[in-house]
């Protein structure tokens, strides 16, 4: 198993390298100018000078090599030094073109918002989805199953920006129950600020967890239906185990295996997939950083975030595979 994990990791490196080359080439070769957002009153000569200060004059392979070196060597070193409290030396970190600040500093600032809102939505979604899926499989074709299935279908089919716009209109504007814009600087220090945090998180969490719930319910229900048809369930029933024990102890436990891997694989997607929700609610997290950087042609930021997402996806895949092996002893690694 260890050697399997190592082999997977060894394969992950060329994958990541390929992805980084593809993304870099895509961004570098495409038209679009990081200076396009400046007012027209700034003359062309000044723009040209600003562009060359960003390093846009250097040949492509040199820029890529520089970025890779910073990403793999300098940034981890800076992080370790910061952890150990060593005074930073003058290494050039990956700097955003738009803010001129280190990209990793930006990401570190955005991560808490993304994690609290998206993480909560994901956990909430799972917590609702699992029992929903189990029960609607158990009561297959009952009214409960139909309603739950309908809701799950709806959750998959409603575009998040549509549900978000309607929820904002009803709850923030008409009823005035919650704020329409997320305050990222709010620090939770006492009960009233905690309540403010809950209120401002309510709508984005609802929109996001509706999607998660929908997807995972569908998987859980399918896996559960599968498990309930197996022989060992009949055997367990024949042995006289209570329905509860059969349902939770046997069927649910076995059907969790594929669902766990779905959950693991979904983790990176919540970072990438929440771009729209973050944009609509002003939750300025990683997704919003990505889209604004993309609009401003801020190549280093886009490149770095995409790369981190790819790393996360590869890791999640690995975790999903290993979890499979741990939960299901029948799985053998070749």
Partner 1 sequence: MLGLIVITVGLGPWVWPLPAKLIDLGARNAGPGWAHPLGTDQLGRDLLAQLLAGGRVSLAVAGAAMIVSISLGTALGVLSGMFRWLDGPLMRLTDLFLALPVLPLLLITVALFRAPLSAALGPETGIFILIVLAIGATSWMSTARILRGEVRALMARDFIRAARSTGTRNGAMITRHVLPNIIGALTVSATLGVASAILMESALSFLGLGFPPDMATWGRLLLDGTAHLGNHPGRALWPGALITATALAVTWLGDGYRDQNDPRHHAR
Partner 2 sequence: MQLHTLAFFVAPFITLASTVIPAHSSDAQQGRDGEVRILYWQAPSILNPYLSGGIKDVEAASLVLEPLARLNPDGVMTPWLATEIPTLDNGGVSADLTRITWHLTPGLTWSDGSPLTARDVQFTFQYCTATDGACAQKDKFRDLISVETPDDLTAVLQFSAPRPYPYGPFVGPQTPILQAAQFADCIGPRAPGCTEQNFAPIGTGPYTVQEFRPNDAVRFTANPNYRDEGKPAFGSVMFKGGTDANAAGRAVLETGEFDYAWNLQLAPEVLDAMAARGKGSIITAFSTLVERITFNMTNPDPALGEDRATLGEPHPALSDLAVRQALAMALDRDVMTQIGYGPTGRTTCNIIPAPPIYASSANDGCAAQDLEGARALLSSAGWVDSDGDGVRQRDGTHLRFTFQTSTNAVRQNFQLLAKEWWRQIGVATELRNIDASVFFGSDPSSPDTMQKFYADIEMYAGASDGPDPASYLGQWACGRAPSPDNAWQGSNVARFCDPEYDTLLDKLTQTAGLAERAEIARQMNDMLVQNYVVVPLVDRGRVSARSNSLAGVQINAWDSELWNIAEWRRVTP
Residue 310 tokens read as: 């790819």
Of 69, 162, 232, 333, the one binding partner 1 by CB under 8 A: 162
Distance CA 278, CA 182 (A): 9
Of 42, 166, 186, 194, the one binding partner 1 by CB under 8 A: 166
> Which 3 state secondary structure label does DSSP give 102?
strand
| Shortest distance (Å) from residue 35 CB to partner 2 | 7
| Shortest distance (Å) from residue 52 CB to partner 1 | 22
Of 4, 5, 27, 323, the one binding partner 1 by CB under 8 A: 27
Distance CA 164, CA 280 (A): 7
Assess contact for 70 and 92: CB atoms under 8 A.
yes
Q: Which residues sit at the interface with partner 2, rule CB under 8 A?
A: 31-33, 35-50, 52-54, 92, 95-96, 98-102, 105-106, 109-110, 168, 172-173, 176, 179-181, 183-185, 279-282, 284, 288-289, 292-293, 295-297
Residues 255-314 that bind partner 1 (CB under 8 A): 268, 272-273, 275-276, 279, 290-291, 294-295, 302, 305-306, 309-310, 313-314
DSSP calls for 21-89: HHHHHHHHHS---TTTTS-TTS-HHHHHHHHHHTTTTS-HHHHHHHHHHIIIIIHHHHHHHHHHTPPP-
Residues 185-214 that bind partner 1 (CB under 8 A): none
Environment class of 312 (CB within 10 Å of its CB; exposed 0-12, middle 13-18, buried 19+)? middle
- Say whether residue 232 binds partner 1 (CB under 8 A): no
**Residue placing its CB nearer to partner 2 in the complex, 45 or 334:** 45
Distance CA 243, CA 245 (A): 5
Residue 229 tokens read as: 């048809």
DSSP calls for 248-278: IIIIIHHHHHHHHHHHHHHHHHHHHHTHHHH
134 binds, among partner 2, partner 1, none (CB under 5 to 8 A by kind): none
Identify the DSSP state of 172.
Answer: I
Per CB under 8 A, the segment of 90-98, 151-159, 191-199, 322-330 that binds partner 1 is 151-159
**Residue placing its CB nearer to partner 1 in the complex, 94 or 310:** 310
Q: Which residues bind partner 1 (CB under 8 A)?
A: 11-12, 15-16, 18-19, 22-23, 26-27, 29-32, 140, 153-154, 156-159, 161-162, 165-166, 169, 173, 222, 225-226, 228-229, 268, 272-273, 275-276, 279, 290-291, 294-295, 302, 305-306, 309-310, 313-314, 317
């Amino acid at each position: 198993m260890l050697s399997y994990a190592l082999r997977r990791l060894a394969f992950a490196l060329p994958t990541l390298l390929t992805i980084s080359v593809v993304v870099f080439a895509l961004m570098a070769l495409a038209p679009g100018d990081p200076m396009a957002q400046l007012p027209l009153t700034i003359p062309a000569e000044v723009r040209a000078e600003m562009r060359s200060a960003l390093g846009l004059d250097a040949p492509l392979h040199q820029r890529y090599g520089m970025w890779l070196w910073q990403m793999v060597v300098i940034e981890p070193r800076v992080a370790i030094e910061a952890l150990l409290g060593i005074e930073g030396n003058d290494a050039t970190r990956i700097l955003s073109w738009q803010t001129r600040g280190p990209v990793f500093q930006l990401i570190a600032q955005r991560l808490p918002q993304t994690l609290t809102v998206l993480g909560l939505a994901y956990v909430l979604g799972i917590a609702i989805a699992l029992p929903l899926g189990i029960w609607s499989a158990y009561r297959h074709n009952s009214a409960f199953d139909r309603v739950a299935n309908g809701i799950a279908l709806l959750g998959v089919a409603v575009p998040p920006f549509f549900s978000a716009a309607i929820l904002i209109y009803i709850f923030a504007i008409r009823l005035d129950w919650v704020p329409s814009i997320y305050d990222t600087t709010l620090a939770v220090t006492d009960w009233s600020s905690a309540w403010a945090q809950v209120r401002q998180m309510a709508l984005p969490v609802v929109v996001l967890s509706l999607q998660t719930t929908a997807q995972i319910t569908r998987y859980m229900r399918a896996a559960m239906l599968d498990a309930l048809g197996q022989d060992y369930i009949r055997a367990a029933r024949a042995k006289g185990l209570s329905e509860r024990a059969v349902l939770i102890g046997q069927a649910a436990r076995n059907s969790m295996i594929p669902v766990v891997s779905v959950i693991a694989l979904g983790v990176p997607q919540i970072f990438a997939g929440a771009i729209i929700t973050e944009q609509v609610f002003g939750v300025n997290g990683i997704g919003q950083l990505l889209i604004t950087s993309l609009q401003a042609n801020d190549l280093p930021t886009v490149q770095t975030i995409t790369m981190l997402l790819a790393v996360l996806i590869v890791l999640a895949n690995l975790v999903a595979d290993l979890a499979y092996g741990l939960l299901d002893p029948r799985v053998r690694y070749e």
